[in-house]
Structure 1
């Protein structure tokens, strides 16, 4: 976890700076080969979703972490950023509960975002 701690913190702080909310970090390393973590947040509208995604890409690039793949920029209702070690899911508030990734990946381990200095509000 220590190896990825700075990366996760960078992602969460980028989300927080753009006023995303309702953060979840799920360690899926023991149940999937997709990634080690899912990082999930909500936004209020499409423009905010794009701003959050752009901020994450910018901040991660500054610490030398390259984006592998991105999806969802067309509709901006569910933007996915794949960094290999983690997949970031930026959901429009109305879409998040439709897909309910937290329930789908409930066998993973929830990580308290407050350990990263982020206050989690819903």
Structure 2
């Protein structure tokens, strides 16, 4: 499975867990960090953890390798690193505060819906 296919699979998994305001940024040609960032938020710690857990399970079932997960204990900003795809699951208030979409404004937004 290539990075784009994995990204689209993970977006569907996030939708299934009712992740809010899902945005996918295409970082190819913008950064060497990853090909795609997926950014979304949940409205509670429990929902943030649930979304991140589903991302991990879905990625592994699709043959992806989770290189790291940060932030699960506090569930304010959970980062799931899959190499070419990085998923950021925020608590709503923290997403507004950090506004990483603005930081990566050079990236193209991918239509996934």
TM-score range, shorter chain: over 0.9
Once the two structures are TM-superposed, the CA of residue 13 in structure 1 deviates from its matched residue by 1.1
1:79-98 per-residue CA deviation (whole Å, 9 max, x = no partner) reads 00000001100010111011
Q: How does 1:1-122 map to 2 (within 5 A)?
A: 3-114=2-113
Deviation sequence 1:75-116 (CA, Å, 0-9, x none): 1000000000011000101110111111110001111121xx
Q: Please list every run of at least 4 consecutive aligned residues from structure 1 whose deviation after the TM superposition is greater than 3 angstroms.
A: none
RMSD between aligned residues: 1.2
The alignment's TM-score, normalised by the length of structure 1, stands at: 0.88
> How many equivalent pairs are there?
113
Cα deviations by residue, 1:22-78 (Å, 9 ceiling, x for unpaired): 011001121211111110001000101111111111111111111001100121000
Post-superposition offset of 1:5: 2.8
TM score, norm. by length of structure 2? 0.95
**Aligned partners of 2:21, 2:58: CA distance in 1, in Å?**
20
Structure 1: runs of 5+ lacking an equivalent: 115-122
